Amino acid sequence: MKKRKLTYANIEVSTLGFGAMRLPIINGDYSLIDETKATKMIRHAIDNGINYIDTAYPYHGGNSEILIGKVLKNGYREKVYLTTKLPCGNIKCYDDFSKIFNEQLKKLDVKYLDIYLLHAMNKKSWSKVHKLGVLDFLDNLKEQGKINQVGFSFHDNYEVFIEIIDSYDWDVCQIQFNYFDSEAENMLNYATDKGVDVIVMEPLRGGALVNDLPEEITTLFNNATTKRSPAEWGFRWLYNNEKVKLILSGMSTMEQVKENLKTFDNAVANSMTKEEKIMMKEVTQVFKDKILVPCTSCQYCMPCSYGVNIPLMFTTYNNYSMFGKSDKYKKQYQAWEKREENRFTADVCVGCRECEEKCPQNIIISERMLDVVKDLG
Ligand SMILES: NC(=O)c1ccc[n+]([C@@H]2O[C@H](COP(=O)([O-])OP(=O)(O)OC[C@H]3O[C@@H](n4cnc5c(N)ncnc54)[C@H](OP(=O)(O)O)[C@@H]3O)[C@@H](O)[C@H]2O)c1
C-alpha cells in the first residue's frame, strides 16, 4: 500500500482510505449493517495496509460509528487514523456541538479523534454553524486534545469553497473529485496552495463510474494497452495526481476490498502514460455527450415560486441519461413525485417562465420540465 504525507498532521496515510458509508447490509435495510462481513472487510483492509477510516454521524442510520467502534477493538484503534464528521444539520445552538461530539466519542468508544470534519458544508450550513461559533468549538476540542486535526467536507460551488477555506486554519478538506467531476481540480489546487491537504470522496461517483457503463466506454477500456477494471481506471486517474493525498472508497464487498488494495499497491503519482490520459478524456466525453440539459446548478433560477427544485430536477435528468441504465434515477424521481407535502418535482411546474429570465445558460426551463416528466415521471 503506497502512502502519502498529510502536511500539517505530519503523518503518513495510506493512499486508499476506508469509507464506512456503504457497508454490507442485511435484507436491503441500510441501517442494518452485516457486522460479521463488515468487520472482516475492514480488518482485512487494515491488516493489508489501510490506516485511515472515515465515518460520519448519519451513515447507516447512525450505526456506522457504532460498528467502527467495535471493529477498532483488539488493538485496531492504534493502527488507524480515525475520522468522523459533525452533522451540522442537527445543530440548533452552541451546546449542541459538544452534545453531539460526546455522543460520537461514546458511539465510537474512543477517547479522541485524529481528524474531525464539519459534514457536507454548503453556503447555508456553513453560514449557520459559523454564526453559532463552530470555529471556537473546534479550537476548544483541539486544545483539550480531543481532536488532532480539523477540516470540512464539501458540497457546493467554487466560490463557497473559497469562502470556507479562507475562514480558518484548516488542516484538511474532503471534496468530491473523479475523472467525471474533474472541474473540482480548481478546489484541489487552491487548497493545496494554501497547505490544506485534500482527501477525495466519491472517487467512483458512488459506483456510477463502474456499474452499467455505456458500451462505448467498455470498448475504450477493453482496447487499452494495459487491461484494468473500470474501478482501477477511476482510481488510477486520481492517484496519478500528486496533490491528492488520500482517496476514500466506500467498499461494499470483500472482493472490492481485495481488488482496491491491489490497485493501490501501484498508486504512484505521475505514472499515467500520455495514451492513457487521452483515453480517459475520451471516456469522460462519452458521459458528457449524454448530458441532456446544460444546467450547471448555479441556482440563479431559484427559488421557484411554485416550489420546483429546478437544479435537482436537471441533475437527476442528466444522471438518468449518463448513468441511468439501472433505472436508479427514474425510481428516485418517482419516489419524490409521490410525496404528499412540499412537492418539488418537475410536474409541479406551471410554466410561468419566471425562472427562464434568470438562467445564464438560457435554458427554456418550462419546456425541459415537460421532458423530465415525460421520461422520469
Ligand atoms: N463527507 C461527505 O459529504 C461524503 C459524501 C460522500 C462520501 N463520503 C465518504 O467518502 C467515502 C467514499 O465515497 P463513496 O463511498 O461514494 O466511494 P466510491 O468509491 O465512489 O463508491 C463506492 C462504490 O463504488 C463501487 N466500487 C468500489 N470499489 C469497486 C470495485 N473494485 N469494483 C467495482 N465496484 C466498486 C461500489 O458500488 P456497488 O457496491 O454499488 O457496486 C461501492 O459501493 C464514503 O464511503 C464516505 O466515507 C463523504
pLDDT tens for each residue of 241-282: 999 999 999 999 999 999 999 999 989 999 999 999 999 999
Q: CA angle at residue 189 from 237 to 127, to 5 degrees?
A: 115
The pLDDT tens digits of the residues spanning 316-362 come to: 999 998 886 668 899 999 999 999 888 999 999 999 999 999 887 88
Specify if 302 maps to a domain.
Answer: no
293 assigned to some structural domain = no
- pLDDT digits over 119-134, tens only? 999 999 999 999 999 9
260 CB less than 6 Å from ligand 1?
A: yes
C-alpha 344 – ligand 1 centre gap (Å): 28
233 vs 277: CA distance, rounded Å: 10
The answer to whether position 166 is within a domain reads yes
CA atoms of 318 and 312, how far apart (whole Å) = 10
Contacts of 362 (CB under 8 A, 6+ apart): 356
**DSSP class per residue in 216-236:** HHHHHHHTSSS---HHHHHHH
- Ligand 1: distance of its center to the CA of 208 in Å? 9
Q: How many whole angstroms from 371 Cα to the centroid of ligand 1? A: 30
Query: For 142-151, what is each residue's pLDDT tens digit?
Result: 999 999 999 9
For the Cβ of 174 lying below 6 angstroms from any atom of ligand 1, the answer is yes
Q: How much is the pLDDT for 89?
A: 86
C-alpha cell at position 170: 484548516
Q: Quick check: is 305 in a domain?
A: no
What residue's CA is closest to ligand 1, atom 31? 256
Residue 206 beta carbon below 6 angstroms from any ligand 1 atom: yes
Give yes or no: residues 217 and 325 share one domain.
Answer: no
Q: How, if at all, do strands 25-26 and 29-33 pair?
A: antiparallel
Find out whether the beta carbon of 199 lies less than 6 Å from any atom of ligand 1: no
Question: Does 82 share its domain with 224?
Answer: yes
Cβ neighbours of residue 327 closer than 8 Å, sequence gap 6 or more: none
Per-residue b/e over 187-201, b at no fewer than 16 CB within 10 Å? bbebbbeeebbbbbb
Give pTM, 2 decimals. Answer: 0.90
**Average pLDDT of the residues of the chain:** 94
**How many domains are contained in the chain?**
2
* Residues 95 and 42 both lie in one domain: yes
Ligand 1 nearest atom to the CA of residue 207, by list position:
24
- Residue 107 cell numbers, joined: 458511539
Same domain, 316 and 276: no
Does 49 map to a domain?
A: yes
Question: Which of 150, 236, 249 to probe ligand 1 with, by most ligand atoms within 8 A of CB?
Answer: 249
What does residue 196 show for φ and ψ, rounded to 5 degrees? -95, 125
123 φ, ψ (degrees, to nearest 5) = -55, -45
Closest ligand 1 atom number to CA of residue 205: 20
Q: Ligand 1 pocket, 204 CB below 6 A?
A: yes
Residue entry with cell 474532503: 174
Does 240 contact ligand 1 (Cβ within 6 A)? no
Domain contains 100: yes
Please report, for the chain, how many H helices and E strands are present, in that order. 14, 12
Q: How many CB atoms lie within 10 A of CB 123?
A: 14
- Domain range spanning residue 366? 310-376
Angle at 152 between CA 258 and CA 147, to 5 degrees: 85
Peptide bond into 203 cis (omega under 30): no
Same domain assignment for residues 277 and 327? no
Report the separation in Å between the CA atom of 293 and the middle of ligand 1, taken as the mean of its atom positions: 26
Average pLDDT over residues 179-196: 95
Q: Specify if 290 maps to a domain.
A: no
**What percentage of the chain exceeds 90 in pLDDT?**
85
Q: Given a cut of 80, is residue 14 above it in pLDDT?
A: yes
Which pLDDT score, from 0 to 100, does residue 207 have?
A: 85
Decide if 376 contacts 330 (C-beta within 8 A). Answer: yes
Regarding whether 276 and 344 lie in a shared domain, the answer is: no
CA 264 to chain centre: 19
| Nearest alpha carbon, ligand 1 atom 38 | 207
Say yes or no: 127 and 86 in one domain. Answer: yes
The angle that helices 158-165 and 185-194 make with each other, rounded to 10 degrees, is 10
| Contact status, residue 21 vs residue 64, Cβ threshold 8 Å | yes
CA of 194 to the centre of ligand 1 (A): 27
How far apart CA 223 and CA 219 sit, in angstroms, is: 6
Helix 94-108 / helix 63-71 crossing angle, nearest 10 deg: 40
Instruction: Establish if 294 belongs to a structural domain.
Output: no
Same domain? For 259 and 333 the reply is no
Are 311 and 156 contacting, i.e. CB atoms less than 8 angstroms apart? no
Residue 78: C-alpha distances to residues 9, 51, 52, 113 (Å): 16, 9, 11, 11
Bridge-based pairing of strands 172-176 and 3-6 is unpaired
pLDDT reported for residue 325:
67
> Do 12 and 92 fall into the same domain?
yes
Cβ–ligand 1 distance for 68 under 6 Å, the answer no
Q: Is the pLDDT of residue 114 over 90?
A: yes
Answer yes or no: do 66 and 142 share one domain. Answer: yes
Question: Do 330 and 218 have their domain in common?
Answer: no
Which cell is 37 given?
A: 462481513
CA dist., res. 189 & res. 191, Å (int): 6
Q: Identify which of 351, 345, 346, 347 has the alpha carbon closest to the alpha carbon of residue 364.
A: 351
Q: What CATH number did the domain enclosing 233 receive?
A: 3.20.20.100
Q: What is the DSSP letter of 16?
A: E
Residues 51 and 195 in one domain: yes
Pocket test residue of 53, 248, 257, 260 for ligand 1, highest count of atoms within 8 A of CB: 248
Query: Which of 13-17, 88-92, 123-127, 357-361 bottoms out in mean pLDDT, i.e. has the lowest?
Result: 357-361
* Widest CA span in the chain: 62
